Chain A
């Protein structure tokens, strides 16, 4: 198993390096970052000054390696807009995004897994159709729109929940529901399919032949097998939530790294943008590695070869 994991880790490293290069080049694809920063009315001289000021007149590869070298020492540069260190900016806001993502994922799991299990044990019943309908709805709904609807209904008409801000836990309820409904359908469907396959299998027939209780058959035997791909999907979904929270953060005015990235893109604040893109990617890569490890641990066929 350790050879398997080392192999995965090496690939992850290669992917991480590639991602850092891509993140680095994203905003520079416009051709001339300096003139974008200097503004429309700048003269040639002002543009050249801007370029020199931000080190943009050096060859691209030098800029990249310089950035990587500094990053490895904890220096991600400074925001062009606020001049604060990027590490500080990210550190300030990562809490909000992380909290939102974890809450959204938990919310999704609490609905998706029980619903998926029940739907699989009663195929074609009303609850099966209901859960599939919910999945279809969840996958079809634009989540920014859903957030706005929630605000209209619960924030304004009913006045149950606060509309914006981050100080209170209740601020996170509507964003969590909004973000959670975007990942819930896939997890529910995977659980349901996995359970259906497991319940159809020979080893479940054996378990029933042994006279085991329904609870034991469902949870000890079937779910334990069905859950393996769901674990991977969950880890991957967390990575996706970290990167995709920008929309929900904008709708609910939450001060997370997604919203910061969005603002920075608008301002061509490239140190911030490249750092956040690379940071989120690295989180994703790390999460997939973790999910590989968990998978290897949970499945003895992988663990013991």
Chain B
């Protein structure tokens, strides 16, 4: 249609003229075609989208309140077990709260923290990477020094300490995780910036007198964007896993908020007789994280420049 460019090549003298038409699809069409046939991307995108919808529409999808305790309904197993019932599809926990409902509301926690931490880390990391990669010299050395310091620190222990100090609300956990995951952003952004910087079109922009700020935003950043999106998705997955671990240890989201990690921790006491309390939230984390990873990998494959076999 209109997005396909047709090139015409005219062969001239001494032979009689021939016209050869070459069809070259535009980059966006290539990407769309790849996206629709990439199984990992499709799976990842579907699951993530479904999770977001469930998280947003949770009040509409379930009649229960995730915080409402009903001790007469404690520890009912899921519907497929012997004593299960259709009233509680995934059973209830030790406080009689509907598990499926807690799972749905827990999705909100995971998605919020995951996305928030990744976004914050992305902003910090990309800025530092752009600056270090573009200016080079001692500025770059400082940036790399920051990365090395960050890498040397044991992330989990630092996160635990900071949460102990600043408390375990969704906001503080997001902030703390965001401040701990920017190293991969820096490394990739810096290297792409270094490569782009010596590209001819950047030199041209500099020659015309464009300000540095404008060059960084206008020329370098668009190139880096693809990589950032991929890394952001991967870091989001990591953030969700770390939040679950911290909540599991008790130094993350505090009860009664339904964080999936916290649900596993609460179910631990009963796990020998009611393993579903531990299995179900874990599977939820697994599926979401795998989906996000596959989405990220898929985006990387789709936006990769031509020339990859």
Contact = CB atoms under 8 A, between A and B. Distances in A.
Chains A and B touch (C-beta atoms under 8 A apart): yes
A285 interface: yes
Interface stretch (A51-59, A206-214, A258-266): A258-266
Contacts of B148: 11, 15
Interface residues of B, number: 42
Interface string B204-233: 000000000000000000000000000000
Interface of B is mostly: helix
Interface in B259-309: 261, 264, 268, 271-272, 275, 278-279, 281-282, 285-287, 289-290, 293-294
B307 to A, nearest CB: 13
A215 B251 CA distance: 51
Nearest to B160: A265
A60 interface: no
Interface in A124-150: 136-137, 139-146, 148-149
Interface residues of A, number: 48
Contacts of A15: 145, 148-149, 152
Nearest to B243: A142
B244 interface: yes
Interface of B: 145, 148-149, 151-158, 160-162, 164-166, 237, 241, 244-245, 248-251, 261, 264, 268, 271-272, 275, 278-279, 281-282, 285-287, 289-290, 293-294
Interface of A: 11, 14-16, 18-19, 22-23, 26-27, 29-30, 136-137, 139-146, 148-149, 151-152, 156, 236, 242-244, 246-247, 250, 258, 261-262, 265-266, 268, 273, 276-277, 280-281, 284-285, 288
12 contacts: A11-B145, A15-B145, A140-B287, A140-B293, A142-B289, A148-B268, A152-B278, A236-B151, A246-B156, A265-B164, A273-B157, A277-B154
Given A145-B278, A146-B282, A243-B155, 19 more contacts: A11-B145, A15-B148, A26-B158, A136-B293, A137-B286, A137-B290, A140-B289, A141-B289, A142-B244, A144-B244, A148-B282, A149-B279, A152-B272, A246-B156, A265-B160, A266-B250, A277-B154, A280-B154, A285-B152
